[in-house]
Amino acid sequence: MRGHLIVIEGCDRSGKSTQCERLVTTLQQQGRKTQLFKFPDRTTQTGKMIDSYLKQSTHMDDHAIHLLFSANRWEAMSHMTSLLEQGTTIIVDRYAFSGVCFSAAKGLDFEWCRQPDVGLLTPDVVMFMDLSMDEAEKRGGFGEERYEKRELQLKVRQEFQKMMDSSWKIIDASKSKDQVYNDMMAVIKSLDSNPGPLKQDLWK
């Protein structure tokens, strides 16, 4: 039986990374094979270029950086597919939805932004960590990277709202860390214990 593909999305400083690591630890302690993937993966060649861009060390055309983010996700697909088919559940900290929303917020065409990621693995669930911009700005580290600007983050949030459908689970990220964790674990527990064949048809 294959593992679940669980994607965690949200604007910056919503607590995604903290909760992703906690969820992975809990599932592993429960005896469930689980692995964390973060996008961008800054350890690969494309990831190092993205890291330099995000830290504002280099400049790149908006279209080019969008394609680089997409390539970074495609690099991981064969490995992720193999793990899922072997029964490993994967928690993903940001996915193609972030890629589209951030680039569209910068003014690129929404449909053009989706095209490079057509055919990626389709998640079993997407959890969106919802946090107001006022709350995000109060959290440590906000503003350190290129995209952590209030105006852009507000636009990103609007793009996410356009992309959401009934399958997305909205998590109130303004709650305490423990409450947020409990809400996310409840979503994971509700997933079909036999998820069926793996799908590589994102946006097809």
Q: For 102-136, how does the pLDDT look when each residue is reduced to its tens digit (9 = 90+)?
A: 999 999 999 999 999 999 999 999 999 998 878 87
- pLDDT over 80 (residue 148): no
How far apart CA 198 and CA 68 sit, in angstroms, is 25
Sheet holding 125-130, edge to edge: 34-38, 89-93, 5-10, 125-130, 169-172
CB 40 within 8 A of CB 147: no
**Which tokens belong to 4?**
């679940």
Structural domain contains residue 204: no
- pLDDT over 70 (residue 77): yes
* 46 vs 167, more confident: 46
How far apart CA 152 and CA 171 sit, in angstroms, is 21
- How much of the chain, in percent, has pLDDT values that exceed 70? 97
- pLDDT over 60 (residue 171): yes
Task: Give 168's pLDDT tier (boundaries 50, 70, 90).
Answer: very high
- pLDDT over 60 (residue 196): yes
Structural domain contains residue 24: yes
Q: Would you say the pTM of this structure is higher than 0.75?
A: yes
Res 177: pLDDT: 95
Structural domain contains residue 25: yes
Residue holding tokens 């995604």? 16
- The parent domain of residue 135 ranges over 5-189
Structural domain contains residue 199: no
Structural domain contains residue 127: yes
How far apart CA 29 and CA 10 sit, in angstroms, is 26
Task: Give 58's pLDDT tier (boundaries 50, 70, 90).
Answer: confident
Number of domains composing the chain? 1
Structural domain contains residue 132: yes
* 58 vs 77, more confident: 77
Residue 202's contacts (CB-CB under 8 Å, 6 or more residues apart) are: 96, 117, 118, 119, 120, 121, 122
CATH number of the domain encompassing residue 81: 3.40.50.300
3 state DSSP class of 170: strand
- How much of the chain, in percent, has pLDDT values that exceed 90? 80
Structural domain contains residue 198: no
Structural domain contains residue 197: no
Alpha helices by DSSP H, 59-176:
62-85, 96-105, 110-114, 133-137, 150-163
**Mean pLDDT over residues 187-196, rounded?**
95
Task: Point out the least confidently predicted range of 116-130, 137-151, 167-181.
Answer: 137-151
